[in-house]
Structure 1
Amino acid sequence: MVDVGAPPPEPGRLAQDFVRFAVASGVLRFGEFKTKAGRLSPYFFDAGLFDDGSKLGRLAQFYAQALRASGIGFDMVFGPAYKGIPLAATVAMELARQGRNVPFAYNRKEAKDHGEGGTLVGAPLAGRVLIIDDVLSAGTAVRESIALIRAAGATPCALAIALDRQEKTIENGRDAEHSAVQYVRRQLGMQVCSIAQLADLLLHLAQDGIGGARPVYEKMLAYRQRYGVSGE
């Protein structure tokens, strides 16, 4: 179990700090964006824009703090290719900085046919493995990661993500009644730790706000009412 350093911030305050950080970094934007599911979303979260050392280091701190607050126990971290690779590496570094040194590994999209070969890089997969990624959409990367981890004889125990969109996933071309996070929890039996959720974005707009926050807030609320899930 992660238990290092000073007590982490309360989850609500941590989430609000993260939302403000994501907005200031240009990672979280408000407007009109088409999602992979074909929905018109009033916001867009692009973790690929944590694109310098300072922002990536701060992001790793948020992951580490959220994990400490969650109480989830794990023995190593795993980053699914591609976005999960730098996340797993930097979170492992931040945990080590805080006094909790854990191994990390990641996968390649294509197997290497020379040198060490294979699709896995880093520490051998063993014990309870925490998967780290940015967001969870259809859950494809998570299922692939689970298969790799189990094939190596290890146990996929939990998933850590930056943002839980709290919206219905798509199954067979239709809206399901659950989110990807709920699927991972209920069907795959894994714990999920998110730094922030859609509810935290709404709270940010309602309390702190941005320029012209009211129209944005109303669009966000309407989007959640149409595509959101309950019970998380």
Structure 2
Amino acid sequence: MKNLRQEFIQFSVEAGVIRFGDFVTKAGRNSPYFFNAGLFSDGANLGKLADFYAQTLIDSGVEFDMLFGPAYKGITLASATAVALAAKGRNVPFAYNRKEAKDHGEGGTIVGAKLQGKVVIIDDVISAGTSVRESVDMIRAAGATPCAVLIALDRMEKSGKDDALSANSAVQEISETYAMPVVSIGNLNDLFDYLSAAGADTELSAHKTAVAAYRQRYGINI
């Protein structure tokens, strides 16, 4: 698992999906790095990403019957992960939601397989947790059971505003609220380890100090 996590971080950096600099997060924080899964935007990179998702889910030991991808990024991620799982001998159905209900054809907001059994929610990251909460509500309304969330990167940072930081991250809050695991392919510690392993004279090593300071300020205690 450790090798898989490091391979994922390296892949994300080399693909330009993890970038370093000065970015403003959804929480309004100035972050020295940014992860944008939408930049896995060609067939080869999406296929490799899906393989990371599929292998991480298999290795997690989570029992599941199908996948669900919240609109919009989750749609591509869930469908690609289903393809990768099938290639590994685990053929499972998947579904996703529309933002607006369709009033013709099959109608409704859910597309794909019927939501039933134990459902894994597939997304890129958890910031405020809004899409996960909405997904849980849709899955339960259909009579199915949300059993886990699978994300690409866990930023491992405290939720809330700077003057009222929570002791927990959004990932931890989702896990505790819904009593289900949140599994990530990689996390902030993996990113820091990757930067630490870079040679002292490399460009990547220069970002280590900024990431360390950010983790010191916002990182959760684990």
TM-score normalized with structure 1 length: 0.92
Change (3 A) 1:216 1:171: closer
Alignment of structure 1 residues 75-94 onto 2, 5 Å = 75-94=65-84
State the match for 2:96 in structure 1.
106
State the match for 1:122 in structure 2.
112
Q: Which runs of 5+ in 1 are unaligned?
A: 1-10
Alpha-carbon distance in 2 for matches of 1:171, 1:212: 31
Change (3 A) 1:39 1:176: same
Task: Give a deviation string over 1:81-118, Cα, whole Å, max 9, x none.
Answer: 00000000000011011110000000000111111110
State the match for 1:139 in structure 2.
129
Alpha-carbon distance in 2 for matches of 1:25, 1:173: 35
Deviation at 1:184, TM superposition (A): 1.5
* Amino acid of the structure 1 residue aligned with 2:9: V
State the match for 1:230 in structure 2.
221
Deviation at 1:215, TM superposition (A): 3.3
Change (3 A) 1:172 1:190: farther
State the match for 2:154 in structure 1.
164
Alpha-carbon distance in 1 for matches of 2:143, 2:163: 34
Task: Give a deviation string over 1:137-168, Cα, whole Å, max 9, x none.
Answer: 00000000000000000000000000000001
SS at 2:167 equivalent: strand
Q: Which runs of 5+ in 2 are unaligned?
A: none
State the match for 1:4 in structure 2.
none
Change (3 A) 1:221 1:172: closer
Q: Tell me, yes or no, if structure 1 residue 43 matches structure 2 residue 33.
A: yes
| Structure (1 or 2) with the greater helix fraction | 2
* Amino acid of the structure 2 residue aligned with 1:124: K
Deviation at 1:173, TM superposition (A): 7.9
Query: What's the Cα RMSD here?
Result: 1.5
Deviation at 1:171, TM superposition (A): 6.6
Alpha-carbon distance in 2 for matches of 1:172, 1:105: 37
Alpha-carbon distance in 2 for matches of 1:14, 1:214: 21
State the match for 2:207 in structure 1.
216
State the match for 2:58 in structure 1.
68
* Amino acid of the structure 2 residue aligned with 1:189: A
Alpha-carbon distance in 1 for matches of 2:5, 2:69: 22
Change (3 A) 1:172 1:31: closer
Which one of 168, 175, 180 corresponds to residue 185 of structure 1?
175
State the match for 2:8 in structure 1.
18
Q: Give every structure 1 segment of 4 or more consecutive aligned residues whose post-TM-superposition deviation is greater than 4 Å.
A: none
* Amino acid of the structure 2 residue aligned with 1:122: G
TM-score normalized with structure 2 length: 0.96
State the match for 1:5 in structure 2.
none
